[in-house]
Amino acid sequence: MTDIIASDKVVSLAYTLTVDGEVISEFDVNDPLEYLHGAENIIPGLERVLEGKRVGDRFSVTVPPEDAYGDYEEDDIDEIPRSEIPAIETLEEGSMVEVEDEDGYSFYATVTRITADTVVLDFNPPLAGKTLTYDVEVLGIRPATEEELEHGHVHGDDYDEDYDDYEDDEDYDDEE
Ligand code: ZN
């Protein structure tokens, strides 16, 4: 096979992600990451380097924030009343929560402080402002199915149709 990574291919990877000298996530041969190339399923700095790679290729890449999760924005922090957060009693500092704005859009945030009346939420992605180092091995490349191309994501072994319907509804909402 002389398959190379290009748009509309489904790629499986083993990788280790290291941030500030600490391993943040790991996908190995037994539990690879699958993604649809060219569909912005992964950060731009990694997707760009994978273009043209072949099965068996191994490489390391260091990705600055602007090609990963963006700069850390001091303004993306909000203090809101405890009453607006469901299940507040189960939260602690460092928990992730999903909150909806008045238009019904949902956002993920990290709880950074809990006071008597309020919760301080940080809407920056957890890896915003970080430089990421990936050690990658390309494990597999296959053409995407029609359905995967239509949806813009992989339907792998863990494919959950119910969740997918939900997710695709969300995508629809985003386009409105
Ligand atoms: Zn889908």
40 Cα–ligand 1 center, Å = 14
161 Cα–ligand 1 center, Å = 7
Q: How many CB atoms lie within 10 A of CB 41?
A: 16
147 Cα–ligand 1 center, Å = 7
Under the banding of pLDDT at 50, 70 and 90, the label for residue 107 is confident
- CA-closest candidate to residue 6, choices 43, 47, 46, 45: 47
153 Cα–ligand 1 center, Å = 6
Instruction: Tell me the two tokens of residue 158.
Output: 């863990």
143 Cα–ligand 1 center, Å = 15
100 Cα–ligand 1 center, Å = 23
Mean pLDDT, residues 91-112: 88
* C-alpha to C-alpha distance for 109 and 98, rounded to whole angstroms: 6
DSSP string, the chain: ---B--TTEEEEEEEEEEETTEEEEEE-TTS-EEEETTTT-S-HHHHHHHTT-BTT-EEEEEE-GGGTT----TTSEEEEEGGGSTTGGG--TT-EEEEE-TTS-EEEEEEEEE-SSEEEEE-S-TTTT--EEEEEEEEEEEEPPHHHHHHTS---TT--HHHHHHHHHHHHHHH-
pTM, entire model: 0.81
- CA-closest candidate to residue 96, choices 81, 76, 111, 74: 111
94 Cα–ligand 1 center, Å = 30
- pLDDT score recorded for residue 99: 84
Residue 1, pLDDT above cutoff 70: no
2 Cα–ligand 1 center, Å = 28
164 Cα–ligand 1 center, Å = 5
- pLDDT score recorded for residue 98: 87
Is the Cβ–Cβ distance between 16 and 26 less than 8 Å?
Answer: yes
Residue 10, pLDDT above cutoff 90: yes
- pLDDT score recorded for residue 89: 80
101 Cα–ligand 1 center, Å = 25
Buried residues in 81-93 as b, exposed as e (16+ CB within 10 A): eeeebeeeeebee
Residue 175, pLDDT above cutoff 50: no
25 Cα–ligand 1 center, Å = 24
In whole angstroms, what separates CA 160 from the centre of its chain? 18
